[in-house]
A = this chain, B = another copy of it.
Amino acid sequence: MFKLNDRINNDTFEICDLKLCKVLLMNDQSYPWIILVPQMEGLTELHHIPQKQQADLWVEINLASQMMEDLFKPKSINVAALGNVVTQLHVHVVARYENDPTWPGPVWGQAPARPYDDKQRLDLIKNAFNRLQNT
A residues near B, CB below 8 A?
44-47, 54, 58, 61-62, 65-66, 69, 75-85, 87, 96, 103-106, 108-109
Contact = CB atoms under 8 A, between A and B. Distances in A.
B45 A77 contact: yes
B81 A80 contact: yes
A105 B108 contact: yes
Each complex incorporates copies of this chain amounting to 2
A103 B109 CA distance: 10
A45 B94 CA distance: 12
A108 B44 CA distance: 21
Given A47-B66, A78-B84, A82-B80, A104 B96 contact: no
A33 to B, nearest CB: 14
A34 B62 CA distance: 23
B85 A104 contact: yes
A87 B78 CA distance: 11
Contacts of A84: 75-76, 78, 96, 103-105
